Amino acid sequence: MKYCSLFSGIGGFDLALKRLGHECVWANEWDKYAGQIYNSRFNRKIDTRNIRLVKTDELPDFDLLVGGFPCQAFSIAGKRLGFEDTRGTLFFEIARIIKDKRPKYFLLENVKGLLNHNRGETFQTILTTINELGYECEWQILNSKNHGVPQNRERIFISGYIRGEPRPEILPIGQTNTIYSKSNEDKEKIHNIASTMTARQYASWNGNFVINQINNPIHSNNRVYDSNGISPTLNTMQGGNRQPKIAIPVLTPDRENKRQNGRRLKENGDISFTLTSQDKHGVFDGAKIRRLTEIECERLQGFPDNWTEGISSSQRYKCLGNAVTVNVIYDICKGYNEQH
């Protein structure tokens, strides 16, 4: 099947679809660093223009349109301006291309917060637009931790097809996923699923870890996690240093007595120094703190090791935080193979 990839990033959709035997006929991504990674990994030239400037008659025909349209406008971490934010209106660029090219199917990804943004009116606008285009759709919230990677990453996926055509069995898949309620019990469950992976492969990970973070900082960016269990969601890092920090065992007995940047490291049981962009060191309960490595973040998103190699460290973290989890896309898109 031929597909068109919008907001391609470092190729999460494309890697999954390539593994399933589908062919990309056109891809677009205007972030130059993500584009560099995409070009090097897929050995083809991605279109780096602003999608608003691309005329639909320039595009080849395709059966499937995929894309994780920019989510900052809908994320609970942002100002949540939705369609008032120019990034939010990029959904209508997807609608423009669907209207003119009439693909059989589309698959879109966004943050879970899209569902309840502006009391649900934003999502209703999206559904109304899809309906007016002559398409039916289903949607489901899926969590990466249920698809073979230890990351607590909830995203909404919207699957569409031309009205009147046979309904493809794309969604729902796997365990039923619903929006968490606002009860204290459910909030507690959400906060407790938070930790990270170590540098080893997780082939035997069974998804049963439920672990609390091991400190209680004022700012969420300064959280420290154990080295076992499920990672918190990777984000765009806004240039770097917001990736999760983990505690690892002290390697030498005299480590506690050494100084770092002119300050004594914390004693066992003390709360860690505040983590800043200048000082990434400290001790928590007999451990030192480090951030996730780029390779660990690649594994958390289902990419091969060193997939993002070739750009700066901060851009690697940002690109990975923006990416879709390859495993999730693969599990969804297996349904398209069953249609053909």
**Token pair for residue 164?**
């009147």
Look at residue 158 and give its three-state secondary structure: strand
How far is CA 155 from each of CA 108, 284, 331, rounded to the nearest angstrom? Answer: 10, 32, 14
Q: Which of 71, 297, 319, 333 is catalytic?
A: 71
Query: Phi, psi at residue 287, to the nearest 5°?
Result: -130, 155
Residues contacting residue 96 through CB under 8 Å, at least 6 positions apart? 56
In angstroms and rounded to an integer, the radius of gyration of the C-alpha atoms of the chain is 21
Query: Phi, psi at residue 165, to the nearest 5°?
Result: -90, 160
Sign of the C-alpha dihedral computed for residues 324, 328, 334 and 336 taken in this order: negative
Q: Is 333 a catalytic residue?
A: no
Q: Are 256 and 265 in contact (CB under 8 A)?
A: yes
The helix (H) or strand (E) run that includes residue 194 is none
Residue 155 CB neighbours (<10 A): 21
DSSP one-letter code for 302 = T
DSSP tally for the chain: helices H, then strands E? 8, 11
Catalytic residue numbers, as ranges:
71
